[in-house]
Amino acid sequence: MERFNFIFIVAGILFFTLAFVIMGALPLAQYQGIDVVSMDQIATNIPYQFDELARDYPEAFEKAFGTTEPTADAFKEALETGRQAYIAEACWHCHTQQIRRIDPNDGTEVGHDVSRWAPDTRLESEADEYHNAMNYPHLFGTRRVGPDLIRSSGRHSNDWHLAHLWNPRETSPYSVMPPYTWFFDDDQGKVPNKRGLGMVTYLQWLGSWHTQFAPSQYEDLPQLPFDESWYPPYVPPETQPGEEGDPYAEEDPYGGEEDY
């Protein structure tokens, strides 16, 4: 018996060392020579949707970033704000940021990545998409209640995102995503605040390094398969966000504070 104990302990230590080398030491050695893309480098490639935000919401934009111009500094601040809000709101609890070669339509696996991202593009997420200052820590996510977001850029317009954040069921009738009314300064979802503008900037940045779509292409993008019969009958909510009695309107999770 004693001999078995000894063998198990030695085997345990060996396996632990092997795992440490393969998953820790080797990647570290492999990526050591590659510089992490900095925020300044990220800001040399500003997606056009950020210019649109500055143009369409000049007052809100100025209030948030102290300028009406879509400058690199404003972009960096917006990105960082959006990412902080993404973490704080636990968007990662329902959304992943990693594309895999899986598709339910071939009858083998769960997920929609192939239908959604078209098999002919560079499909799976690759290491270089994460090797930048916005990925410390990375936000791979854990579950897929909603679709993957790593290449969201340009799949919807800014206004779609704002309407969706204000009330997801306005754009997606069956959505289980909660409304984020505290991303807005008014009670109608028309004036985004710094977090709202930051979140749209962040979503439009995600994947902007990969494929950019012009607004005229939105309708031609591959869509998720959808069949109403999969869902129970749609029951409109009793209250709209912002209205009296709206359960989400009662609390401001930030206690009225703009910065966190």
Per CB under 6 A, residues contacting ligand HEC are 86, 89, 91, 93-95, 145-147, 149, 152, 155, 168, 172, 175-178, 180, 199, 203
Q: Among residues 93 and 190, whose Cβ is nearest to ligand HEC?
A: 93
Q: How far apart are CA 139 and CA 155, in angstroms?
A: 20
Output the smallest distance, CB 90 to ligand HEC, in A: 6
Give the DSSP H/E element, type plus range, for residue 11.
Answer: helix 2-20
CB of 212 to ligand HEC, least distance (A): 15
**Contact by Cβ (8 Å): 181, 166:** yes
d(Cα 119, Cα 70) in Å, to the nearest integer?
A: 34
User: Which helix (H) or strand (E) element contains residue 48?
Assistant: helix 48-56
* Residue whose C-alpha is closest to residue 148's, from 117, 122, 173, 182: 117
**How many CB atoms lie under 10 A from the CB of residue 84?**
16
Task: Report the nearest approach of ligand HEC to the CB of residue 117 (Å).
Answer: 11
Please state, in angstroms and rounded to a whole number, the distance separating the CA atoms of residues 55 and 61.
9
From the CB of 182, what's the least distance to ligand HEC, in Å?
10
> How many CA atoms lie within 13 Å of 194's alpha carbon, on the beta-carbon side?
22
Q: How far is the CB of 161 from ligand HEC (least distance, A)?
A: 6
Helix, strand, or coil here: 37?
strand
CA angle at 67 for the pair 65 and 70, rounded to the nearest 5° = 85
Residue 42: name the closest of 250, 246, 206 by CA: 206
Contact by Cβ (8 Å): 166, 180: yes
Q: Which is nearer to ligand HEC, 22 or 90 (CB)?
A: 90
Residue nearest to ligand HEC (CB): 146
Find the shortest distance in angstroms from Cβ 19 to ligand HEC: 32
Closest CB to ligand HEC among 70 and 168?
Answer: 168
Q: Which residues, in sequence order, are bridge partners of residue 184?
A: 192
The distance of closest approach from Cβ of residue 91 to ligand HEC in the complex, given in angstroms and rounded to an integer, is: 3
